[in-house]
Amino acid sequence: MTDAPALAEFFAAWDLFRAPALAGAVAGGLLGVVGTYVVLRRMVFLSAVLSQAAGLGIAGSWWLQVAWGVPAGLASPTLGATVATAGVVLAVTVGRALGGRQRDALLGWTYLACEAGVLALGTRVVHELHDIEELLHGSAVAVTDDQLAFLAWTASAILLVHAWLQRGFVQVVLDEDGARVRGLPVLALELVLVGSLALAVAVTTRTLGALPVFAFTILPALTVLRLTPNVPWALLAAGCVGAACGFAGYVVAWRWRLPVGAAQALVAVVVAALGWAVGAVRGRRE
């Protein structure tokens, strides 16, 4: 077994690794922020469904290009992912009055349908089969400067909306009935919140893959919620943790020659476990 390369070699070749490493950091930071609301609202399974739906939308875009000759501008992977995740958001919104078991059943059916659809379309777009595998497991290796710029601008826009509507989001997530009593537009805030989550998942899945996107949507928030005094601090901390995991995961994958998506998810798992342990110790002391 050969020794792992020194970390200095990574930064010596920074121009080569800059775009994918920074893409992991930007995506992790964005998902850490929006994922905090997912964890607080106990919608963990929704984020998994959205990441699979984004994968289906991307695979469907490739299928339209290959099988039907649709121009790439009309069947772009990012557009396909956005449309698919928006469809899931619409279905969840329409079914928001369903009971817990029925809602879970709807999400479970959607998850299985999306994953099966991705695998089925993989048999129709043979040339993109490797890319579809990367969609499921994640491989942010070949990220261009244009893709990084698009991801950064999209993340900035979503985070600005969240900064503007943060108080309303927090009220709706923590006390929906109280928000109605205060006269807040609860349905509109929920649509913007879940819609921003869908857009974030759609854009980041195109870059990272479904596995790390699901990990970054859940684990940074789980890491910090027991350690921070309030939700605003949790949002900031989860964004920082997500960004650090996205960047560190890429470095770990490079140093030990691991799949990038798996390495990013594993780093987030380890950090979440450490956060849980610290929170447990602090809780016993208090």
Q: What is the mean pLDDT of residues 15-41?
A: 94
| 42 φ/ψ angles, rounded to the nearest 5 degrees | 60, 45
Which one has a higher pLDDT value, 132 or 246? 246
1 falls within a domain: no
C-beta separation of 8 from 174 below 8 A: no
150 falls within a domain: yes
- Percentage of the chain surpassing pLDDT 70? 89
Model confidence band, residue 129 (pLDDT cutoffs 50, 70, 90): low
Q: What is the mean pLDDT of residues 29-37?
A: 97
The CATH number linked to 269 is 1.10.3470.10
12 falls within a domain: yes
DSSP 75: S
pLDDT at res. 96: 61
Residue type, 139: S
Task: Tokens for 264, please give them.
Answer: 């990013």
pLDDT at res. 91: 79
Whether pLDDT at 1 is above 50: no
Which one has a higher pLDDT value, 14 or 118? 14
Residue range(s) defining the domain that contains residue 171: 7-280
196 falls within a domain: yes
274 falls within a domain: yes
The shares of helix, strand and coil residues in the chain, as percent rounded to the nearest 5, are 85, 0, 15
Which one has a higher pLDDT value, 187 or 129? 187
286 falls within a domain: no
Number of domains in the chain: 1
Whether pLDDT at 140 is above 90: no
* The dihedral sign for the CA sequence 93, 111, 106, 30: negative
120 falls within a domain: yes
C-beta separation of 78 from 140 below 8 A: no
pLDDT at res. 235: 97
Distance CA 123, CA 130 (A): 11
**150 vs 19, 34, 146, 241, 281, CA distance in Å?**
12, 18, 6, 22, 41
Whether pLDDT at 267 is above 90: yes
Query: Which segments of the chain are extended strands (E)?
Result: none
| pTM exceeds cut of 0.85 | yes
The DSSP result for 86-131, as a single string, is HHHHHHHHHTTTS-HHHHHHHHHHHHHHHHHHHHHHHTT-GGGHHH
